Chain A
Amino acid sequence: MESNENPLDELVVFFKALADGNRLKIVGLLAQRPLSTEQLAVILDLKPATVSHHLSKLAEAGLVQTHTESHYKVYELQADALHAMAKRLLAEETLPDAASDVDVDAYDRKVVADFSKRDGRLKEIPAQRKKREAVLRHILAEFRVGRRYSEKQVNDVIGRFHEDTATLRRELVGYGWLKREEGVYWREE
């Protein structure tokens, strides 16, 4: 498998290679020992051309490798590739890699755009929870982490978006995104 490929393409090629009953059987047989196309054709009762096709798909995915043994092409399972890919699948922290080129903030941006007027102020506070959260995250971004704000300062920031500062301030605190202690507010994290 070429390493300069997009990781997503690589995964698609890998899963495509395994998404076939005959190819899974070939993988199972090659796990026992290396075999030639002719041997696989007899064992699986398939045409040699069909076996060759499946082997080329597996080779593309880096799952088999070939060498020549007295005029016969012999295929060997690349167990390492199989294990490496299965581990990648197991590792939760690498899963989001599949979405590395995906814009997870797109939804928030759409909601904020839908609810904002030309001047950047909110037309209204969204009633639906998911949408309201998107708007709150948008307002929260105006607060600097580490800085402390008085209630008046908080209201000034929120007031740029909507006059109902009390509701929005309470929501921000309710979600735990804004902390409050003795009349002082700050953004966590």
Chain B
Amino acid sequence: MESNENAQAELVTFFKTLCDENRLKIIGVLAQQAHSMEELVSILDLKPVLVSHHLSKLTEAGLVRACTQSGCRVYELHTDALHAMSKRLLAEEARPNAVAELTEDAFDRKVMVDFLGRDGRLKAIPAQQRKYNVVLRRILAEFQVGERYSEKQVNAIVKRFHDDTATLRRGLVDLGWFKREAGIYWREE
């Protein structure tokens, strides 16, 4: 889910930008009025390089922008960006409830949430093929490509998820993601 990942990376950058005391102070000061670099240096009692570093971080995150006020370069708070981001944070949190918009990634997560017990093991093996595949894919991820496993080793790994190792092992082989030859198993690809 590339767009999902991008959106998340953007949120992480946004929060990273805000988790600094001096940057929060700059936002607070600029919320009252636009200021020049020089003014911010005096107001915050910081070195000019530091103020300029913080301003560039804030500008990158779209929270602050530079403009010219009667011949003077000043920085102003881009409140729209701040509002948009805050709203997105709330939307992000609400998104999983909107089942209609579920991405494949979110579907997988939802299946896992539904089928895992508190101990992190499967409560049941899903009857529906699409959900069964999700579970099998997750189990498959425990196996390393290139490594060879005995049946005993396969069972030990599958057992971390569910006691019915025979069914799940067969399921992995049936999907063709897991190869077997002369009692040796390996992950393809």
Residues of A in contact with B (beta carbons under 8 Å apart): 8-9, 11-12, 15-16, 18-21, 24-25, 27-29, 31-33, 35-36, 38-39, 41-43, 45, 48, 69-70, 72, 74, 77, 79, 82-83, 86-87, 89-90, 92, 95-100, 102-104, 106-107, 109-110, 129-130
Contacts and interface: CB of A to CB of B under 8 A. Distances in A.
A39 B120 contact: yes
B15 A19 contact: yes
B86 A43 contact: no
Given A16-B19, A38-B118, A102-B25, A86 B90 contact: yes
Contact of B20 (A12, A33, A95, A104): A12
A145 to B, nearest CB: 20
Interface in B99-126: 109-110, 112-113, 116-121
A21 B13 CA distance: 10
A169 to B, nearest CB: 20
A60 to B, nearest CB: 13
Contacts, number: 154
The binding surface of chain B is classed by DSSP as helix
A137 to B, nearest CB: 12
Interface of B: 8-9, 11-12, 15-16, 18-21, 24-25, 27-29, 31-32, 35-36, 38-39, 42-45, 70-72, 77, 79, 82-83, 85-87, 89-90, 92-97, 109-110, 112-113, 116-121, 138, 141, 161
B82 A106 contact: no
A11 B96 CA distance: 26
A99 B93 contact: no
9 contacts: A15-B16, A18-B11, A19-B12, A20-B12, A29-B113, A32-B113, A82-B93, A96-B31, A107-B38
